[in-house]
Structure 1
Amino acid sequence: MMNNYNIERICTSSAERALLFAKEEARSFGHDVDARHLILGLLKEGKGIGAKHLNHMRVSAESVRELVQEAPKTTAYFRVGLQNHLERAFEECMRLGHDFIGSEHLLLSILDDGDNCEIFRRLKVDPSAERNNLLRLLGS
Structure 2
Amino acid sequence: MFEFFTDRARRAVVLSQDEAIALGHDFIGTEHILLGLVGTDRSTAGDVLREQGVELTRAREETVRILEAAGIAAAGGQPVKDALSSIGIDVAEIQRRADQAFGPGAFQYPRPAYTPHAKKALEQTLREARALGHEKFGTEHVLLGLLAAGQGRGLEVLAALEVDPAGLREAVLARVAGEAS
Query: Taking structure 2 as the reference length, what is the TM-score of the superposition?
Result: 0.66
TM-superposition CA deviations, 1:64-114 (whole Å, max 9, x none): 1112221337949xx654322211111100110001010000111122233
Q: Which residue of 1 aligns with 2:62?
A: 67
* AA aligned opposite 1:30: G
Of residues 5, 11, 15 in structure 2, which corresponds to 1:11?
5
Give runs of aligned pairs for residues 120-135 of structure 1, distance below 5 A: 120-135=158-173
**Is contact 1:89–1:106 with CA below 8 Å preserved after alignment?**
yes
Structure number with greater Rg is 2
How far 1:131 sits from its partner (Å)? 0.4
- The 1:72–1:121 alpha-carbon spacing in structure 2 relative to 1, beyond 3 Å, is closer
Q: How far apart, CA to CA, are the structure 2 residues paired with 1:73 and 1:97? A: 40
Task: Give the ranges of 4+ consecutive aligned residues of structure 1 lying more than 6 Å apart after TM superposition.
Answer: none
Q: How far apart, CA to CA, are the structure 2 residues paired with 1:120 and 1:68? A: 10
Q: How far apart, CA to CA, are the structure 2 residues paired with 1:16 and 1:128? A: 25
Of residues 41, 49, 53 in structure 1, which corresponds to 2:44?
49
Structural RMSD (CA)? 2.2
SS at match of 1:118: helix
- Higher RCO structure (Cα 8 Å, ≥6 apart): 2
Q: How far apart, CA to CA, are the structure 1 residues paired with 2:54 and 2:143? A: 12
User: What are structure 2's unaligned runs of at least 5 residues?
Assistant: 72-114
Q: How far apart, CA to CA, are the structure 2 residues paired with 1:91 and 1:98? A: 10
Query: Taking structure 1 as the reference length, what is the TM-score of the superposition?
Result: 0.83
How many equivalent residue pairs? 132
